[in-house]
Amino acid sequence: MTTPYKKPRKAELSEIQKQENQKLSSRRIGVEHLICRVKTFRVASERFRLARHRYNQVIMAVCGLVRLHLNYSFILSNET
């Protein structure tokens, strides 16, 4: 787990630290968007009502669907 650089008291961050924070932020946003897509299936955001031993199968299926959609979107964007 990586944490961003924090601005010290009465000082500024260097340009390299600012760039590193920006890279980290853009990566984090991408992950947050994927988590949001998984939560739209309501498996990870609400109470799971099936048997507990099925949770892993269901969440993996949802993640597979999200990844399939992501790959399909990536392929379509590269065709043009």
In angstroms, the Cα distances linking 36 to 10, 13, 32, 71 are 37, 31, 6, 17
pLDDT tens-digit series, residues 5-48: 999 999 999 999 999 999 999 999 988 998 899 888 888 778 88
pTM score, whole prediction: 0.67
pLDDT of residue 12: 93
Contacts of 55 (CB under 8 A, 6+ apart): 43, 48
Contact indicator for 55, 48 with CB cutoff of 8 Å: yes
pLDDT at 79 over 90: no
